[in-house]
Structure 1
Amino acid sequence: MTLFYAKEMCFKLPNGQRLFENIEIKLKKGDRMVIQGPSGCGKTTLLKCLAHLIPFEHGECTLENASIDKFTVPNWRTKVMYVPQTPVDHPGTPNDLFKMVRSFASQKNRTDHGDPIDIARNWGISDDHFAETWSNLSGGEMQRCALAIALALNPQVLLLDGND
Structure 2
Amino acid sequence: MSSELIRYKDICVDFHGSCLFSNFNLTVNKGDKLILKGRSGSGKSTLLKILLGILHVDDGEVFYRGRKISPSNIWDIRKEIAYVSQDTDIGEGIVKDLINEIFSFDHNQGRKYHRKRNSLLEYFGLDRSIVYKKFEDLSGGEKQRICIIISVLLGKEIFLLDEVTSALDLELKEKVVDFFLENENWTLLVVSHDNTWDRVAMDEVFVDGCEINA
Q: TM-score, normalised by structure 1?
A: 0.82
Percentage of matched positions with identical amino acids = 28
Q: Distance in 2 between matches of 1:120 and 1:25?
A: 35
Amino acid paired to 1:7: K
Contact 2:103 2:111 survives alignment (8 Å):
no
Tell me by how many angstroms 1:153 deviates: 0.8
Q: Which residue of the partner structure matches residue 139 of structure 1? A: 140
With a CA cutoff of 8 Å and minimum separation of 6, indicate the structure with the bigger relative contact order.
2
CA distance 1:12–1:100, shift in 2 (3 Å): farther
Q: TM-score, normalised by structure 2?
A: 0.65
CA distance 1:21–1:95, shift in 2 (3 Å): farther
Q: Distance in 2 between matches of 1:117 and 1:8?
A: 44
1:73-99: per-residue Cα shift (whole Å, max 9, x none)? 332112123211231151113333322
Q: How many residues align?
A: 162
Q: Which residue of the partner structure matches residue 128 of structure 1? A: 129
Q: Distance in 1 between matches of 2:28 and 2:18?
A: 28
Tell me by how many angstroms 1:148 deviates: 0.9
CA distance 1:56–1:131, shift in 2 (3 Å): farther
Provide structure 1 residue ranges, at least 5 long, that are not aligned to the other structure.
none
Provide structure 2 residue ranges, at least 5 long, that are not aligned to the other structure.
164-191, 194-214
Q: Which residue of the partner structure matches residue 68 of structure 1? A: 69
What stretches of structure 1 move > 6 A for 4+ residues in a row?
A: none
Tell me by how many angstroms 1:3 deviates: 2.3
Q: Distance in 1 between matches of 2:56 and 2:94?
A: 30
Q: Rg: which structure is higher?
A: 2
* Structure 2 counterparts to residues 90-109 of structure 1, below 5 A: 90-108=91-109
